[in-house]
Amino acid sequence: KSVDILINNAGVMRCPEGKTEDGFDMQLGVNHLGHFLLTNLLLEKLRDSAPSRVINLASLAHIVGKIDFDDLNWERKKFDTKQAYCQSKLANVLFTRELAKRLEG
């Protein structure tokens, strides 16, 4: 079977502080890490199905997002639901740009 198009659109917005089953911040887990994992699991199938497409939905909120790689899960600082959302959307944009570079040509 082929995978012609993958649309990563799952998301939560400004939800209360919580963790995924794997211990990640809920918004980062749902909005970004799930997309990242699914895309990477399907990458070989997508390549074999060329010309295929990956579409990652993000948000203009990425503009004010900051990724704190030392505290992705809000364990050292006070949880901010808005910033957690913005962080997850910035991660989407950065992932999309890097994926495009790696798959180019």
Q: Catalogue the active-site residues.
A: 85
- Using alpha carbons, select from 104, 16, 8, 100 the residue that is nearest to residue 58: 8
- Using alpha carbons, select from 61, 52, 54 the residue that is nearest to residue 87: 61
Residue 90, CA distances (Å) to 2, 63, 68, 84, 97 in order: 30, 7, 11, 10, 11
Residue pair 55/38 in contact by the 8 Å Cβ criterion: no
